Amino acid sequence: MIDASKGLKEWRNAVTREARKHCILQQDSDIYLRLLFLFARPKAHFNKRGLKPNVPLRPRNVDIDKLARAVCDALTGVAYHDDRQVCVLLAERQYIDEKQYEGVYVELTSLAPCADVG
């Protein structure tokens, strides 16, 4: 599969650079990964009185699975050896409020191995 989105390489590089500041490479553990993607509202969502009624609560113009895949790929070799280690993935997208910045928040937790049930 080839990713052809404009800016994808730059986005992945930015995620990788930031992750290197905060992550310790998880060897072989299973990973819980929570991703919160934040987007600015389009100007068309506003009128003179503020937010228009009946505008979407969450962004719908970007596929969340493509967003998640880009981040998972960017974290490979930094937070974990391979994105196959991610066994729980929670991804959400929403619009920002005045105190937030556009981007992605990443929560990564190493999961304890499960005992075999036999």
Domain spans, the chain: 26-111
Structure tokens of 30? 């299973």
| Span 23-36, average pLDDT | 86
Extended strands (E) in 10-57: 30-39, 46-47, 50-51
List, for residues 51-98, the tens digit of each pLDDT value. 899 999 899 888 999 999 999 999 999 999 999 999 999 999 999 877
Please give the Cα distance from 109 to 118 (Å, whole number).
27
pLDDT band at residue 1, thresholds of 50, 70 and 90? very low
